[in-house]
Chains A and B, each alone.
Chain A
Amino acid sequence: MIEVVSASRCVTCDVCIAVCPTDVFDAGTDGIPVIARQGDCQTCFMCEAHCPADALFVAPLTHPAPPGSPFRDEEHVTRTGLLGSYRRELGWGRGRKPGARNAVGPELGRARITPAAAESS
């Protein structure tokens, strides 16, 4: 779920309010969007992908991160390079090459069925 809106990075463009498919954000009085309905977040990472300032961080959990979680810590997600990492992978943003250009996955063969323990060794 969405956990971090960085006030220092936010450029108050309101794109996240517009693009969130489940209407999680409200406009804040200071221009910084507010996570108003976190419970409706479907953890689709779309707000993060569309944020032009890499100001949003979506934790990879379908429930709110507990108090003290590093996922709620802007300093942590910035230092570890997680903030803005999805947009980087998508190749969105000035001077980047669209990630779609490289999007060729492996050939998918017949799915593997896990063998029994005795046979697997």
Chain B
Amino acid sequence: MTTTALDLTADVVIVGGGPAGTWAALTAATAGADVLLLDKGYCGTSGPTASGGTGVWYVQPEPAAREKAMASREALGGYLQDRRWMARVLDQTYENMDRLGAEARYPFPVVDGRAFKGGLQGPEYMRRMRSWIRRAGVRILDHSPVTELLVDAAGTVAGVHGHRRQHHTGYRVRAGAVVLATGGCAFLSKALGCDVATGDGALYAAEAGAAMSGMEFSNAYGIAPTFTSVTKTAYYGFATFFQQDGTPLAGAGSQGGRSVIAAELLRAGTVLCQIDQATPEQQAQMRSGQPNFFLTFDRLGINPFTDKFPVTLLLEGTVRGTGGIQLVDDDCATSVPGLYAAGDAATRELICGGFTGGGSHNSAWAMSSGTWAGGGAARFATALGASALRRRLTGAGGVALRPTGGASYGGDPGAEAKDVLRRQVHPYDKNYLRHGDRLRPALDELDEVWARLRAGATAEPAATPRLRQAAAMVAHARWMYTAALARTESRGMARRQDFPGLDPAQRRRLTVGGLDEIWVRPESAARPELAVAS
């Protein structure tokens, strides 16, 4: 970074303006912190929640209901969840959803005389979150991607650098603490609202010294009509799937049968679908429940209930997977002082284990972890006092900012990285139908492109965010595949064709980290909460 046109200060910087970021901003501002929220896109529309909408893991505070909610997915998640975290997420989500109705006047539907809080319509939710945090005094910079974290001499995170793409200027923020709420990584697959989720926060966290957890659970693919973006898999629970010639595709399903769809897409290139199991009443409920599900169909002239239409699977990576930045405390602190993580940027293993956090769990996690991270960051910043603004800052970013030298880059490094990701991460037979014999060469190629990026890639200031984004995706993929190779069993959604069974000895989380050299190891501290209630 050469010149810095805009020089700002804040107690707390929030990176990312989706649900986790806005709840973090709200909590920090309410605690009295001066908060600046930076969104790569626009706070209120960017991220999968705004365009997709979401179910919410909202459970009444009755012991039996809570017990059932926690127990229901433990086996699916490979028993890697943490009951204490699940319980506190349920508590916090319940409180936040009630505040959303009371304080942000979210128009919840009324069912049997009661507000129905099992889901949120994306555009309405995120529009209200934006207004709410502005009323709370949060400053927002839209279209302002962060390019790196700033650290002080002790390695404490103390601010960010970034670029305002619609103002063609760089910026620096000096801050007491930073919350990364940048989302997961869907590798520019064009899945609904996911193209802003490129794993940037994970890269920045790793550069400051943080580790990742749950990265092997990164192989989520959503169902969408072919050549479209609307990945709303839940309603395909009412569907029947067919081969190209119209014969039923035995074993295919939206849950528990998606690998059959992937295999058929690899084999024949076509899978047809018809949502023929919904009653007329259910069909009407679908339309009011999720109008965006029908955008594609209405515009293409398809009646999904009576027509057979082709479907595809779009990579949702760690957006619907559960991997992300490892947390070390209840306030969503990372292992790096001054740095907090929330939402999809953080690991969701604590409440999802190894099974998709898609939909309800991720949304509950986003609002809960955002609330905690915002509070934790505000407390950290307050404790620093005035000394926070006197620290000498250094950029923590490496790849695409500070080349290590050796070979200067020929071609277009960003385009090359994206091409490698298209070939080695998107395909079903690499990331989804996993086998060590295919994962290893894929990882080799990702390592190779990383080494080239690290040595020689640089860009003009305006192009830097994109190049950093490409590097973040490559780093993300390398952590995913390294963890996937280390888990020599099939647990949760991390399945290996060469290790189809569950290995009881591997019932532990994996931590992965590093940039030029990647390491992976079982999570060290034994956690009593990991024990499964009978």
Instruction: Identify the A interface with B (CB < 8 A).
Output: 17-23, 40, 42-46, 49-50, 59-63, 71, 82, 85-86, 89-90, 92, 98-106, 108-117, 120
Chain A residues near B44 (CB-CB < 8 A): 19
Bound Cα distance from A92 to B252, whole angstroms: 38
Bound Cα distance from A115 to B242, whole angstroms: 10
Q: Which of B119, B255, B292, B300 is close to A111, meaning CB atoms less than 8 Å apart?
A: B255
Chain B residues near A102 (CB-CB < 8 A): 109, 288
B126 nearest in chain A by CB position: A46
Say yes or no: B42 contacts A100, CB within 8 Å: no
Say yes or no: B41 contacts A21, CB within 8 Å: yes
A61 nearest in chain B by CB position: B227
CB distance from B148 to the nearest CB of A (A): 20
Bound Cα distance from A114 to B298, whole angstroms: 25
Q: Does B22 contact A (CB under 8 A)?
A: no
Q: Which of A21, A61, A63, A106 is close to B46, meaning CB atoms less than 8 Å apart?
A: A21
Which one of A99, A111, A115 has the highest number of Cβ atoms from chain B below 10 Å of its Cβ? A111
Q: Known contacts being A42-B190, A98-B107, is A61 close to B238, with CB within 8 Å?
A: no
Chain B residues near A85 (CB-CB < 8 A): 298
CB distance from B506 to the nearest CB of A (A): 27
Bound Cα distance from A111 to B240, whole angstroms: 10
Q: Known contacts being A45-B295, A61-B228, is A112 close to B42, with CB within 8 Å?
A: no
A89 nearest in chain B by CB position: B291
Q: Known contacts being A98-B124, A114-B248, is A21 close to B285, with CB within 8 Å?
A: no
Say yes or no: A114 contacts B45, CB within 8 Å: no
Bound Cα distance from A86 to B252, whole angstroms: 31
Bound Cα distance from A84 to B250, whole angstroms: 40
Chain B residues near A82 (CB-CB < 8 A): 298-299
Say yes or no: A114 contacts B124, CB within 8 Å: no
CB distance from A99 to the nearest CB of B (A): 6
29 interchain pairs, CB-CB under 8 A: A17-B166, A18-B142, A20-B45, A23-B41, A42-B194, A44-B193, A45-B292, A60-B300, A61-B228, A92-B123, A99-B291, A101-B110, A103-B53, A103-B288, A103-B289, A103-B290, A104-B116, A105-B119, A105-B285, A108-B237, A110-B255, A111-B236, A111-B254, A112-B238, A113-B251, A113-B253, A114-B240, A114-B249, A117-B250
Q: Which of A20, A21, A115 is close to B250, meaning CB atoms less than 8 Å apart?
A: A115
Which size bracket describes the interface of B in this complex? 35 or more
Q: Which of A60, A90, A112 is close to B124, meaning CB atoms less than 8 Å apart?
A: A90
Say yes or no: B299 contacts A104, CB within 8 Å: no
Interface residues of B in 227-268 (CB under 8 A from A): 227-230, 234-242, 247-257
CB distance from B165 to the nearest CB of A (A): 6
B240 nearest in chain A by CB position: A114
Q: Which of A71, A90, A113 is close to B291, meaning CB atoms less than 8 Å apart?
A: A90
Say yes or no: B289 contacts A104, CB within 8 Å: yes
Say yes or no: B109 contacts A104, CB within 8 Å: yes
Say yes or no: B123 contacts A46, CB within 8 Å: yes
Say yes or no: B42 contacts A42, CB within 8 Å: no
A18 nearest in chain B by CB position: B42
Q: Known contacts being A18-B42, A103-B109, A104-B289, is A114 close to B250, with CB within 8 Å?
A: yes
CB distance from B144 to the nearest CB of A (A): 11
B254 nearest in chain A by CB position: A111
Bound Cα distance from A106 to B237, whole angstroms: 11
Q: Which of B46, B195, B285, B296 is close to A104, meaning CB atoms less than 8 Å apart?
A: B285
Q: Known contacts being A99-B291, A105-B286, A106-B282, is A111 close to B237, with CB within 8 Å?
A: yes
CB distance from A78 to the nearest CB of B (A): 14
Bound Cα distance from A9 to B281, whole angstroms: 37
Bound Cα distance from A46 to B374, whole angstroms: 27
Chain B residues near A103 (CB-CB < 8 A): 53, 109, 119, 121, 288-290
Bound Cα distance from A43 to B224, whole angstroms: 12
CB distance from A106 to the nearest CB of B (A): 4
Bound Cα distance from A46 to B295, whole angstroms: 12
Q: Which of B107, B194, B255 is close to A100, meaning CB atoms less than 8 Å apart?
A: B107
Bound Cα distance from A85 to B229, whole angstroms: 17
Chain A residues near B85 (CB-CB < 8 A): none
Chain B residues near A22 (CB-CB < 8 A): 41, 195-196
Say yes or no: B288 contacts A112, CB within 8 Å: no
Bound Cα distance from A82 to B257, whole angstroms: 34
Q: Which of B108, B143, B190, B281 is close to A62, meaning CB atoms less than 8 Å apart?
A: B190
Q: Which of B47, B225, B241 is close to A21, meaning CB atoms less than 8 Å apart?
A: B47
**Complex interface bits, B181-217 against A, C-beta within 8 A gives 1, otherwise 0:** 0000000001011111000000000000000000000
Chain B residues near A101 (CB-CB < 8 A): 107-110
**Complex interface bits, B109-133 against A, C-beta within 8 A gives 1, otherwise 0:** 1110000100111011100000000
Bound Cα distance from A40 to B290, whole angstroms: 25
Q: Which of A44, A71, A116 is close to B229, meaning CB atoms less than 8 Å apart?
A: A44
Bound Cα distance from A35 to B123, whole angstroms: 22
Q: Which of A23, A49, A59, A120 is close to B123, meaning CB atoms less than 8 Å apart?
A: A49
